[in-house]
Structure 1
Amino acid sequence: MPNNASAKKRVRQTGKRRFENRIVKTRYRGATKRLLLALDNQEPAERVESLLSEAYAALDKAAKKGAIHKNQASRRKSRLASRVKALPQKTV
């Protein structure tokens, strides 16, 4: 339990940041999950490309807001791109 004013303020700040980061992280995780499901279901190339674009945007926004590190966002984008590229060309 915080005893002084600065510690109480830090608790408030941390709670607010955790809440905002959770929203951002949920957004990019959902976008990534939708893309991976589309890949597993062998959906058409246009759909996969649009989902890849959404996932990229969500990861970039998460990195910009500081919810994840920019290198982590870059690594995740790279791995998603390699999964898309590994599919047969008739699907993607």
Structure 2
Amino acid sequence: MANTRSAKKMVRKIARRTEVNKARRSRVRTYVRKVEEAIASGDKSAAQEALKAAQPELMRAAGKGVMHKNTSSRKVSRLSKRVGAMA
């Protein structure tokens, strides 16, 4: 357990940051899931709209440090490739 005042403060800060990051990660997963559901249903226009909403969310997560920049870029790329491949 933290003993010094600064260590106790860091514990509080880390706990707050963890909550925020958890919420952001959950939000990203929700947007990605919406795109995947639209792809599974076969509705190309809905998939494109969902991708358009998910893309800024993924890049925002990368900007905030929730995930690595390359990870979010890879996810956007793979999702857009799947949406583009739809009939």
Same fold by TM-score, threshold 0.5 exceeded? yes
**Higher helix residue share:** 2
1:34-91 CA deviation, whole Å, 9 max, x = no partner?
A: 1101110112x32111100111011011111111111111111111111112222xxx
SS at match of 1:66: coil
Q: Distance in 2 between matches of 1:42 and 1:85?
A: 12
Deviation at 1:23, TM superposition (A): 1.0
Matched residue, 2:82: 83
Indicate the larger mover: 27-36 or 62-71: 62-71
Identity, in percent, stands at 36
* Letter matched to residue 81 of structure 2: S
Aligned residues: 87
Counterpart of 2:66 in structure 1: which amino acid? Answer: A
What SS does the aligned partner of 2:36 have? helix
The answer to whether the aligner puts 1:18 opposite 2:23 as a matched pair is no
Task: Give every structure 1 segment of 4 or more consecutive aligned residues whose post-TM-superposition deviation is greater than 4 Å.
Answer: none
CA distance in 2, matches of 1:25, 1:73: 11
What secondary structure, in the 3-state scheme, does the structure 2 residue paired with 1:24 have?
helix
Cα distance in structure 2, aligned partners of 1:21 and 1:81: 25
1:27 match: 27
Structure 1 pair 75/61, CA: closer, same or farther in 2 (3 Å)?
same
Q: CA RMSD of the aligned region, Å?
A: 1.0
- TM, length-normalised to structure 2: 0.92
Deviation at 1:31, TM superposition (A): 0.4
Q: Distance in 1 between matches of 2:6 and 2:68?
A: 27
Q: Which runs of 5+ in 2 are unaligned?
A: none
TM-score by length of 1: 0.87
